[in-house]
Amino acid sequence: MLDKPAVSLPEKIITVDFKDTRQTHQLKAGEMFAIKVPCHSPKDFAWQLEHSSLKPERIDYIKSGPLPAGGKLTDVQQGDRYYVFKAPESGSARIQLVHQATWGTAEKLPFEVQLDVKPESTKPALPAKIIQADRGTPQQISLKPGETFAIQVQSNASTGYSWQVLESGLQSHDQQYHPDCQDPMIVGSGGKLYYIFTAPEQGPASIQLQHGRSWEPKSQQIYTFNLSIE
């Protein structure tokens, strides 16, 4: 008789396959899923989680009874182990398992799952007019009354440098960050930060952004944008 798990399993089950040692699956943001591997006892050979960019939520085991051999039941119990995960909100993830002997240095049989996650909702579209911040002299920008625009800056918080708006008489709609790399395995790759504004009905106007480390006053750099409304 099949033992029921203490908690219900996710609807999405990925089963290991010795013939297909690398699988790719599409998941929804935050979707629960499980990787199913055969698990027999005694554990001369066993599946092990070797590497994962996601932390398992839990590990479940369902026992199905003695393992038959030669038409007879043996003392070896058979069942399945389920590694239960939660998909990230976006990007990709990689999970690696290996099947190997629990003793010695026998050859490992690898199995890899590559996950591509589609976000439930996408960020609002950026304005058509995007100004790239340029270090040096103040930038002159011509805008129509009420036009929405964005200032694009390169940002990497892992370096300790940050951006902030020092001065602006404009309405700020939003602030969006777009990473250069979606792979969660790569840390500190940086990305692009967009400050989104709406031009006034009449001008002129100006915006000042500051970039630097808060504990290093000499690292602070000022970027000035002078707006003319036409």
Q: Residue 2: pLDDT band by 50, 70, 90 thresholds?
A: very low
What pLDDT, on the 0 to 100 scale, is given for residue 41? Answer: 54
Same fold, 12-118 and 129-229: yes
What pLDDT, on the 0 to 100 scale, is given for residue 129? Answer: 93
Q: Given 3-state DSSP classes, what are the helix, strand and coil percentages for the chain, each rounded to the nearest 5?
A: 5, 60, 40
Cα–Cα distance measured from residue 39 to residue 28, given in angstroms and rounded to the nearest whole number? 28
Q: Which CATH class is domain 129-229?
A: mainly beta
What pLDDT, on the 0 to 100 scale, is given for residue 18? Answer: 67
Identity of the residue numbered 189: S
3-state SS class at 218: helix
Region class of 35: left (phi > 0), else alpha (psi between -120 and 50), else beta? beta
pLDDT of 13-50, one tens digit each?
998 866 777 888 888 888 899 998 887 655 556 778 88
| DSSP per residue, 116-178 | EEE-SSPPPPPPSEEEE--SSSPEEEEE-TT-EEEEEEEE-GGGT-EEEEEEE-SEEEEEEEE
- Residue 14's beta-bridge partner residues? 35
* Mean pLDDT calculated for residue range 3-10: 62
Tell me the domain boundaries of the chain.
Answer: 12-118, 129-229
Topology (CATH level 3) of domain 12-118: Immunoglobulin-like (2.60.40)
In this model, does residue 6 exceed pLDDT 60? no
The pTM assigned to this predicted structure is 0.48
pLDDT of 162-204, one tens digit each?
888 887 878 777 888 888 876 544 555 688 999 999 998 887 8
